[in-house]
A and B are shown apart, each in its own frame.
Chain A
Amino acid sequence: MTLTRLAFLSLKSRALTVGLTIFAVALSVVLFLGVEKLRTGARASFTDTISGTDLIMGARSGSVQLLLYSVFRIGNATNNVTWESYSDIAARPEIDWAVPISLGDSHRQFRVMGTTVEYFQRYRYRGGRALAFAQGRAFEDLFDAVVGAEVAAQLGYRTGDPIVVAHGLASFSEHKDTPFRISGVLEKTGTPVDRTVIVGLEAIEAIHVDWQSGGRKSGAATPVEALRAMDLQPKAITAAMLGVKSKLQIFTAQRAINQYREEPLLAVLPGVALQELWSIVGIAEQALIAVSAMVVVTAVLGLSVMILSGLHARRREMAILRAMGAGPTTVMGLLMTEAVLMACLGAALGLVMLYLGLFVLQPWLDSAYGLFIPVTPPSLREMLLLCAVVAAAAVVSLLPALRAYRMSLADGMMVKM
């Protein structure tokens, strides 16, 4: 009869307390590994907000600021880029494609973005996924608009519904003369696109024909037919997404844009800027890790307390083992084996619960929060954590084990019960 078997039988005889202790360890493992999975998932989702675009170009500001307004629609551009500069850059030999974007107006709490139809092919997320239409299609008419999944869900929009764009952000003056019609609703992406109303670049120009610096000009509105006949080439855009012909030319193009003489411009690599942004957000990560680590420590301590509190009732058992010839170290070993067995079972159970939870929650997390958690085998870091839980259990069980050692020396083989 081996020590492990003895420890196992002893644990089995106290199924309820042992079970609860194992469950506590399992829950702490689920929490820690879950946080770890969520954290890496959130980071991957975040840094995958935009892919396939080599450079983002805007007026000179900070790289994080440019990223925030052009991709996340947070904050505003301090300056625009003139159409001449944009055309100049887009015509450079390294540049394969360019998609201009124009921001500034809003619809309810959502931003309105003017761009070209090419946007729907060029904008990629989560490792190269393209935008897809849940309903309808991209804009064809001047006054067509495409809405993101969240816009449609929150405002109950479907294709064919009319919408009116407000001038500026959080504004009461609306472009009432020029209503849009929804031509398409995008599928959920988990990116800021979900919260965007997308219209044609010319449409942005058209709705501002009768407007001047924040207010509507007095007089009759230009008829829609006249607007359609006008040359609606914009004079300026907010930013542009660029693709280069060869990845090797990214830095050449970036340098050319940053050193553009006619106008102060800035080009950033989206991946690099996203990492930079994440490092700011990432402090919350550390707090999450710290909290879940504390939970693991608590569970392992609870395991030690459980063994410790059961010691007195097991003096008889220790005395029998001693009488049979077990040394005090064997008694210690038995208790430590019990702790390690419980920790192993807890870690294994936690792993099973984690993956079951991932399988069940993955589609919901993706659709509700746009958070894609890939179900991958445990990483090295996660395996190390599981080993650390078992090692910690062995270490904390030293306390009850030493106590049992001393008790068995003092009791000898006589315990009056």
Chain B
Amino acid sequence: MPAIVASEDAVCLEEVQFSWPESRFSIAVNGFRVAAGEKLLLLGESGSGKSTLLSLICAIATPQQGRIRVAGQELSALSPAQRDRFRADRTGIIFQMFNLLPYASALDNILLPLRFSALRRKRCHDPRAEALSLCAGLGLPEDLLTGVAASTLSVGQQQRVAVARALIGAPDIIIADEPTSALDAGSQAEFLDLLFRQLASTGSTLIMVSHDARLADRFDRVARLEDIAEILRKAVA
């Protein structure tokens, strides 16, 4: 039985060490917590280990040492298949760009996580209606959602489709990896407004990585990646 630890934390990393296979890059995280429902901004430049940290939280990467608990679940207790299901059930992910399967329609993209998560599927009484109402909330016109491939949408529209996909079925944690960096300043603000409004209705925890400190005042808490994670680059053998 996987250990279920009662905790207020949405995410908790303790004494974690990880290195990618066939890579000299490794990361150490001694203690990192995010409370449930918290909106956290992680500030860090590229190469500061943000993608690795997010991969660890999403249970895509498994640490060599230490413990990671997400939404009350000890990740090391899970088999690879269970980790995949856990990721589908508990997390919604928004990438920097190229978020969507280019050949599928926006609606197909939004419904994609439900294919992998029975839990989130169950939360949507009518997945299609749910997707459409999310899109309405995000200001996406309905005629863009079906019939045309997602690759024909503008970058801003694609990012909003990605938000809808992350939020559908109300996962516990939304992880956003520089979602606004491909947008201009005006669109950035609008994008964040929409994201926060939707988060308020699902109550999900948000971990957003950015290098832009100006966004800080909209978040509950701001953390610097360099204070959390220690990057180790092994010498060339």
Residue from B54, B61, B89, B111 within 8 A of A1 (CB atoms): B111
A320 within 8 A of B: yes
Q: A412-B55, A412-B61 are in contact. Are A325 and B85 (CB under 8 A)?
A: yes
The answer on a CB contact under 8 Å between A414 and B51 is yes
A323 within 8 A of B: yes
A contact patch SS: helix
B81 within 8 A of A: yes
A417 within 8 A of B: yes
The answer on a CB contact under 8 Å between B80 and A410 is no
0 or 1 for each of A378-415: is its CB under 8 Å from B? (1 = yes): 00000000000000000000000000000000101110
0 or 1 for each of B90-117: is its CB under 8 Å from A? (1 = yes): 0001010011111110001001110111
B149 within 8 A of A: yes
Cα distance, A68 to B71, chains bound together (Å): 87
The answer on a CB contact under 8 Å between B93 and A323 is yes
Cα distance, A185 to B81, chains bound together (Å): 79
Q: A12-B103, A412-B61 are in contact. Are A325 and B84 (CB under 8 A)?
A: yes
Residues of B within 8 A of A329 (CB): 81
B112: nearest residue on chain A (CB-CB)? A324
Cα distance, A176 to B196, chains bound together (Å): 111
The answer on a CB contact under 8 Å between B88 and A413 is no
The answer on a CB contact under 8 Å between B22 and A324 is no
Cα distance, A324 to B108, chains bound together (Å): 13
The answer on a CB contact under 8 Å between A324 and B113 is yes
B182 within 8 A of A: no
Residue from A9, A13, A327 within 8 A of B84 (CB atoms): A327
Q: A325-B84, A412-B60, A413-B60 are in contact. Are A320 and B103 (CB under 8 A)?
A: no
A371 to chain B, nearest CB (A): 46
Which of B80, B93, B111, B149 gathers most chain A CB within 10 Å?
B93
B69 within 8 A of A: no
Please report the number of residue pairs spanning A and B whose Cβ atoms sit closer than 8 angstroms: 79
The answer on a CB contact under 8 Å between B103 and A13 is yes
Q: A320-B99, A324-B88 are in contact. Are A410 and B104 (CB under 8 A)?
A: no
Residue from B87, B99, B103 within 8 A of A9 (CB atoms): B103
A325: nearest residue on chain B (CB-CB)? B88
Residues of B within 8 A of A316 (CB): 98
A409: nearest residue on chain B (CB-CB)? B21
The answer on a CB contact under 8 Å between B22 and A323 is no
Interface residues of A in 311-330 (CB under 8 A from B): 316-317, 320-330
B209 to chain A, nearest CB (A): 11
Cα distance, A128 to B35, chains bound together (Å): 91
Interface residues of A in 113-168 (CB under 8 A from B): none
The answer on a CB contact under 8 Å between B100 and A326 is no
Residues of A within 8 A of B113 (CB): 324-325
The answer on a CB contact under 8 Å between A325 and B116 is yes
Cα distance, A414 to B23, chains bound together (Å): 14
A10 within 8 A of B: yes
B57 to chain A, nearest CB (A): 11
Interface residues of A in 7-44 (CB under 8 A from B): 9-10, 12-13
B58 within 8 A of A: yes
The answer on a CB contact under 8 Å between A13 and B88 is no
B85: nearest residue on chain A (CB-CB)? A325
The answer on a CB contact under 8 Å between A320 and B101 is yes
A319: nearest residue on chain B (CB-CB)? B95
Q: A1-B115, A323-B93 are in contact. Are A13 and B149 (CB under 8 A)?
A: yes
Cα distance, A279 to B88, chains bound together (Å): 63
A9 to chain B, nearest CB (A): 5
Cα distance, A132 to B103, chains bound together (Å): 63
A414: nearest residue on chain B (CB-CB)? B51
Residue from B21, B61, B99, B102 within 8 A of A13 (CB atoms): B102
The answer on a CB contact under 8 Å between A325 and B87 is yes
The answer on a CB contact under 8 Å between A323 and B60 is yes
The answer on a CB contact under 8 Å between A325 and B117 is yes
A6 within 8 A of B: yes
The answer on a CB contact under 8 Å between A323 and B103 is no
Cα distance, A197 to B61, chains bound together (Å): 86
A136 to chain B, nearest CB (A): 69
A14: nearest residue on chain B (CB-CB)? B103
Cα distance, A5 to B101, chains bound together (Å): 13
Interface residues of A in 326-357 (CB under 8 A from B): 326-330
The answer on a CB contact under 8 Å between A413 and B58 is yes
Cα distance, A72 to B142, chains bound together (Å): 76
B226 to chain A, nearest CB (A): 19
Cα distance, A324 to B94, chains bound together (Å): 10
The residues of B with any CB-CB pair to A shorter than 8 Å are 20-22, 51-52, 54-55, 58, 60-61, 80-81, 84-85, 87-89, 93, 95, 98-104, 108, 111-113, 115-117, 149, 165, 177
A-B contact pairs, 24 of them (CB 8 A): A1-B104, A1-B111, A1-B112, A6-B101, A9-B103, A9-B108, A10-B103, A13-B103, A13-B149, A317-B101, A320-B95, A321-B101, A323-B60, A323-B95, A324-B112, A324-B113, A324-B116, A324-B165, A325-B88, A325-B113, A325-B116, A325-B117, A413-B58, A414-B54
Q: A5-B108, A417-B98 are in contact. List 5 more A-B contacts (CB 8 A).
A: A2-B115, A323-B93, A324-B93, A410-B20, A414-B55
The residues of A with any CB-CB pair to B shorter than 8 Å are 1-2, 5-6, 9-10, 12-13, 316-317, 320-330, 410, 412-414, 417
Closest 3 CB pairs of A and B: A325-B88, A13-B103, A325-B116
